[in-house]
Structure 1
Amino acid sequence: MTQLATEPAVRAAQPAPARRRRPHHRSAYLFIAPVGLGLLSLYLYPAISTFVLSFAEWGPFGGHTFTGLANYVNVFRLDAFWTALGNTLLYMVIGLLTLPAAILFAVLLNREGLRGVSVYRALYFIPFITLPVASGMVWKWLYNGDFGLVNQFLGIFGIPGTYWVSNPDTALFAIGVVQVWSQIGYYLIIFIAGIKAIPKEYAEAAEIDGASAFQRFWRITLPLLSPSIFFCTVINVIATLQIFDLVYVMSATATVNPAFGASQSIVQLFYEKAFVEADKGTATALAFLLMLLIGALTFVQFRLQRRWVNYV
């Protein structure tokens, strides 16, 4: 009798059959369908079509002819490609300088008793939400070699100015400064949130043990901030490798700016090939090579992050 009485209870405790849970799975698929369709139509399909069409020659009125690796051979034979690749990697290196600057400002803004923190955060964040075209136009005026404020400021100290975005020796670095200035507010907000998530007990215990402010930052804040640093590094590398707006606005064209080639990025070269020269085959090959470069660097970053976590 006892065994018979417990059988209904055992059956009630058992999970429902899989076929009863299928309606819930269908509703979940319906909820993720819009996002899934967006990813397929806006990301996956363009990537696959770009890869396929990079092996073809496009006609002026549509249609394409399969040409094998001819487009990739043309890309590697272009001197402009190697120049643009070097410039893009330099933009990436300059862009990474945004992170230590953002960490420094985040630590300073997290000091206790500091007044007007919200105002400082807003001032740092405003350049990020400003359109790159607007920022580029303003900075192009500031860099003007005849009446720009940068040269006027340097003239106060007797330092001769130059035509910053027209000089091949300074054009890339001048654009890089604007890039850092416009992005620092975004990473600042992330680092401030990361620092606030660190328990204060760690720093207080280290202070009691006699650790200086720099030691507390180096031994406690920085290691515990590594997830935020890793995220910002990946985002920063991907963004700087695709830089286009600032370069296009501030460097104009080759017929106007003699420093055009010294500051040209891969995306700008893609634009020139696709929409100015109508060489869409070479342009698609450039786009796919850039995607491979971004994927390879992201993979390296993830591998280095694993080693960093094991080391810490």
Structure 2
Amino acid sequence: MTATVTGTADDVRTAVPAPVPARRRRRWRHRGAEAAWAYLLIAPTGLGLAVFYLWPVLQTGYFSFTEWGPFGGHEWVGLDNYRTLAADDEVLTALRNTVAYTLLGLLGIPLAVMFAALLNRPRLRGVSAYRALFFLPVVTMPVAVAMVWRWLYNGDYGLINYVLSLVGVEGPHWIADPATALYALVAVGIWTSLGYNIVIFLAGMQAIPREYYEAAAIDGAGALAQFRRITLPLLSPSLFFVSVLSVIGSLQLFDLVYVMGGSGQSARANPAFPRIQTVVHLFYDKAFYTNDRGYAAAIVMALLVLIVTLTAIQFRLQKRWVHYG
């Protein structure tokens, strides 16, 4: 019994898929070669990120569930470190200090916007010198900055108290006084980040077309109205970028506290140290001074969760601002 094939020759030809044109095959090969070159070029950066960033994060996450002995070695303890962390008053104090420093440090953003607006004036003499002076703290080593400010804040022979004594004011021991220690650190943090923020805002202001200001001036808008209705709305991407970096950098504060406040026994001898200890500084003390590395890993993992959460909130708020703005 044989099967019969019905239909014309044209139907048979249309049922057979047409061969892929040579031009399309060449295009696919070209795209494949481009993708291969792209992956090859980003491979060194990707490998560096995986080795120096991703792997340490994963390793720290694992160590946060372990307990370390005094001579090395560790054993799995599960969530014990996190239970201890939730009830540790020292951790809560360090977290409160870090959040307070972060919120106060945001005051440097409007200050940077103001200086950027002043430096953006085209007829300002010596504008390049002013920009260099503002940016100088950014390229200075943080330890050197902290040592200089530690001398300036010294209550016995510091320059700030000497200047205050000339007008009959007795200055406090800025870093050793619980009432002024945190604010003194905030002032140094704002000073060190001011130059970088000014550069970002200057770039954003110079990208705004001058025609907007000329049209506003024709309509009778003054300098303040132009700044409020043109500069600030169009500067919102730069404001968002600087705010995210400022929050992340403030939550990771360590070097200023370590140099100006000390560590270990020297830090605990400072009566104001409970007011300036940050989460990263507490992590350092637990990991390298008391050698409680499992608990220190739990502290820094909690800080990582906090940073990711706050950054996600900032991105969410930025999307709403763009949507409703």
TM-score > 0.5, shorter chain as reference: yes
Instruction: Work out which of the residue numbers 113, 116, 135 in structure 2 matches 1:106.
Output: 116
| Amino acid in the other structure paired with 1:296 | T
Asked if 1:284 is matched to 2:297, the reply is yes
Residue deviations 1:244-263 (CA, integer Å, cap 9, x gap): 00111111233431211111
Structure 1, unaligned stretches of length 5 or more? 1-9
Residue in 1 that maps onto 2:312: 299
1:30 aligned residue: 40
Cα deviation, residue 25, structure 1: 2.5
Whole-Å Cα distance in 1 between the matches of residues 109 and 175 of structure 2? 24
Max radius of gyration: which structure? 2
Q: 1:87 corresponds to which residue?
A: 97
- Correspondence 1:115 to 2:135: no
What do residues 173-221 of structure 1 show as CA deviations (whole Å, max 9, x unaligned)? 1011011011100010111111000000101111111111111001000
State how far apart, in whole Å, the 2-side matches of 1:90 and 1:132 are.
21
State the secondary structure of the residue aligned to 1:126: helix
Q: 2:181 is matched with which residue?
A: 171
Q: Name the residue aligned to 1:227.
A: 237
**Match of residue 6 from structure 1:** none
Aligned position for 2:71: 61
- Is the CA contact (8 Å cut-off) linking 1:132 and 1:245 kept in structure 2? yes
Question: Aligned partners of 1:121 and 1:20: how far apart in 2?
Answer: 47
How far residue 95 of structure 1 moved from its aligned partner, in angstroms, is 1.6
TM-score, length-scaled by structure 2? 0.90
The Cα shift of 1:12 comes to: 6.1
Closer, same or farther: CA 15–229 of 1 in aligned 2, 3 Å: farther
Q: CA deviation at 1:63?
A: 2.5
Aligned length: 303
Question: Which stretch of structure 1 is more off in the superposition, 253-262 or 276-285?
Answer: 253-262
Instruction: Give the whole-Å Cα distance in 2 for the aligned partners of 1:266 and 1:274.
Output: 12
Q: Which sits farther off after the overlay, 178-187 or 148-157? A: 148-157
User: Between the two proteins, what is the percent identity of the paired residues?
Assistant: 54
- Matched with 1:265 is 278
**8 Å CA contact 1:145, 1:164 repeated in 2:** yes
Q: C-alpha separation between the residues in 2 aligned to 1:166 and 1:17?
A: 69
Question: Retained in 2: the 8 A contact 1:94–1:180?
Answer: no
Structure 2 gaps, min length 5? 1-19
1:70 aligns with 2:83: no
Tell me what 1:149 maps to. 159
Amino acid corresponding to residue 282 of structure 1 in structure 2: Y
**Quick one: structure 1 residues 20 and 192, their matched pair in 2 at CA, closer, same or farther if it must change by over 3 Å?**
closer
1:93-147 per-residue CA deviation (whole Å, 9 max, x = no partner) reads 1221111111000000111211111100000000111111111111111111111
